[in-house]
Amino acid sequence: MDKRRLLAIARGEELADLVIKNAKIINVYTKDIDLGNLAIADGKIIGIGDYSGKEEMDLSGYFIAPGFIDGHVHIESSMLTPNNYARAVLKRGTTSVVADCHEIANVLGNTGIDFMLDVAKESGIDCFMMIPSCVPSTPFETSGAILKAKDIEKYKQYENVLGLGEMMDYPGAINGETDVLEKIDTFKDLVIDGHAPEVSGKNLNAYRLNGIKTDHECTTPRELIEKVKLGMYVHLREGSQTKNVTDLLGGLDSKYYNRIMFCSDDLHPSDINKTGHIDNNINIAINNGIDPIEAISMATLNIAECYNLRSVGALSPGKKADIICFKDLNKINVEHVFKNGALILKDHELLIQPVKIDISKVVDTVNIDVDSIDLSIKLKNDFVNVMGLVKNNVTTNKLNEKVVLDEGLFLAKNNPGLLKLCVIERHKRSGNIGKGIVKGYGLKNGALAMTIAHDSHNLICLGDNDSDMLLAIRKIKDIGGGIVLVSDNKVLDYLKLEVAGLMSSENIEYVEERLVSLEKLIRNLGVNDEIEDPFLQLAFLSLAVIPELKLTDLGLFDVSQYKIIALEAGE
- Looking at residue 243, its pLDDT comes to 87
Instruction: Give a yes or no: residue 227 inside a domain.
Output: yes
pLDDT digits (tens, 9 = 90+) for 18-61: 999 999 999 999 999 999 999 999 999 999 999 999 999 999 99
DSSP 8-state assignment for residue 275: T
Q: Are both 277 and 402 inside the same structural domain? A: no
Same domain, 102 and 217: yes
Integer angstrom CA distances of residue 465 from 27, 115, 127, 418, 522: 58, 38, 43, 11, 15
**Each residue's pLDDT tens digit, 419-464:** 999 999 999 999 999 999 999 999 999 999 999 999 899 999 999 9
What does pLDDT average to over the chain?
95
CATH code (residue 295): 3.20.20.140
Domain check: are 309 and 408 in the same one? Answer: no
Number of domains in the chain: 2
Q: What is the mean pLDDT of residues 210-239?
A: 96
Handedness of CA 48, 51, 56, 61 (dihedral sign): positive
Residues 302 and 370 in one domain: no
User: What residue spans of 197-336 are helical by DSSP H?
Assistant: 201-209, 221-229, 245-249, 269-274, 278-287, 292-298, 301-306
- Sort strands 405-406 and 260-263 into parallel, antiparallel or unpaired: unpaired
**Mean pLDDT computed over 486-494:** 98
Q: In whole angstroms, give the CA distance from residue 312 to residue 69.
A: 9
Confidence label for 1 from pLDDT (cuts 50, 70 and 90): low
The DSSP code sequence of 71-104 is EEE-GGGGTB-HHHHHHHHHTTTEEEEEEE-HHH
Task: Report the SS3 class of residue 457.
Answer: coil
| 505 and 388 part of one domain | yes
Length of the chain: 571
The model's confidence at residue 298, banded by pLDDT at 50, 70 and 90, is very high
**For residues 263, 518, 368 and 536, what is the CA-based torsion angle, rounded to 10 degrees?**
20
Q: How many helices (H) and strands (E) does the chain have?
A: 17, 30
> What's the gap between Cα 270 and its chain centre?
14
**One domain, residues 163 and 270:** yes
Q: Is the pLDDT of residue 561 over 80?
A: yes
Query: What pairs with residue 34 in β-bridges?
Result: 25
Exposure class string for 170-208: b at 16+ Cβ within 10 A, else e: bbbbbeeeebbeebbebbeebbbbbbbbbbeeebbeebb
Average pLDDT over residues 550-563: 95
pLDDT at 85: 96
Q: Do 276 and 396 have their domain in common?
A: no
Question: Which of 277, 295, 316 marks a domain boundary?
Answer: 316
Q: Which residues are registered as beta bridge partners of 420? A: 437, 463
Q: What is the DSSP string of 313-343?
A: SS-STTSB--EEEES-TTS----EEEETTEE
Regarding whether 492 and 390 lie in a shared domain, the answer is yes
Which contiguous run of DSSP H or E holds residue 260?
strand 260-263
- Place 532 in a pLDDT band, splitting at 50, 70 and 90: confident
Domain termination site, one of 316, 337, 354:
316
Biggest CA–CA distance in the chain, Å, is 89
In a domain, residue 346? The reply is: no
- Cα–Cα distance, 339 to 322 (Å, whole number): 5
Same-domain pairing of 74 and 220? yes
Regarding whether 225 and 127 lie in a shared domain, the answer is: yes
Does residue 301 form part of some domain? Answer: yes
- Is residue 12 included in any domain, yes or no? no
User: Residues with Cβ < 8 Å from 200, sequence gap 6 or more?
Assistant: 223, 226
Amino acid at 395: T
Q: Under a CB-based contact definition with an 8 Å cutoff, are residues 550 and 363 in contact?
A: no
Structure confidence at residue 303 (pLDDT)? 98
Between CA 84 and CA 355 the distance in angstroms is: 8
pLDDT in tens, 350-392: 999 998 899 999 999 999 999 999 999 999 999 999 999 988 7
In whole angstroms, give the CA distance from residue 188 to residue 293: 33
Contact at 8 Å (CB) between 103 and 79?
A: no
At residue 82 the predicted structure's pLDDT band, cuts being 50, 70 and 90, is very high
Report the percent of the chain where pLDDT is more than 90. 91
How many CB atoms lie under 10 A from the CB of residue 275? 16
Distance CA 47, CA 558 (A): 56
Bridge partners for 491 per DSSP: 486
Q: Which residues contact 287 (CB under 8 A, 6 or more apart)?
A: none
Return the closest-CA partner of residue 447 out of 394, 402, 401, 494.
494
> Under 8 Å CB-to-CB from 348, ≥6 apart: which residues?
91, 334, 335
Consecutive H or E run containing 508: helix 508-524
> DSSP letter at 360?
G
Asked if 302 and 444 sit in the same domain, the reply is: no
Q: Distance between alpha carbon 281 and the CA centroid of its chain, in Å?
A: 14
Domain that holds residue 305: 67-316
Nearest in space to 42 (alpha carbons), one of 98, 94, 4, 86: 4
In a domain, 95, yes or no: yes
Q: Same domain, yes or no, for 368 and 253?
A: no
CA dist 174 and 345 (Å) reads 46
Beta bridge partners of 400: 385
Report the SS3 class of residue 254: helix
Pair 335, 327: CB distance under 8 Å: yes
| 528: helix, strand or coil | coil
Residue 357, domain member (yes or no): no
| Best CA proximity match to 317, nearest among 18, 55, 38 | 38
Tell me how far the alpha carbon of residue 154 is from its chain's centroid.
24
- Residue ending a domain, among 261, 296, 316, is 316
Q: Is the pLDDT of residue 251 over 80?
A: no
The band of 533, judged by pLDDT with boundaries at 50, 70 and 90, is confident
Any residues with CB less than 8 A from the CB of 416 and at least 6 apart, and which? Answer: none
What pLDDT is recorded for position 137? Answer: 85
Global confidence as pTM: 0.93
190 pLDDT band, cuts 50/70/90, is very high
Integer Cα distance of 20 and 63 in angstroms = 11
Has residue 524 been placed in a domain? yes
What's the one-letter identity of residue 208? R
Radius of gyration of the chain from its Cα atoms, rounded to whole angstroms: 24
- Model pLDDT, residue 571: 61
Indicate whether 254 belongs to any domain: yes
Query: Is the link from the previous residue into 354 a cis peptide, with omega within 30 of 0?
Result: no
Ramachandran angles phi, psi of 85, nearest 5°: -60, -40
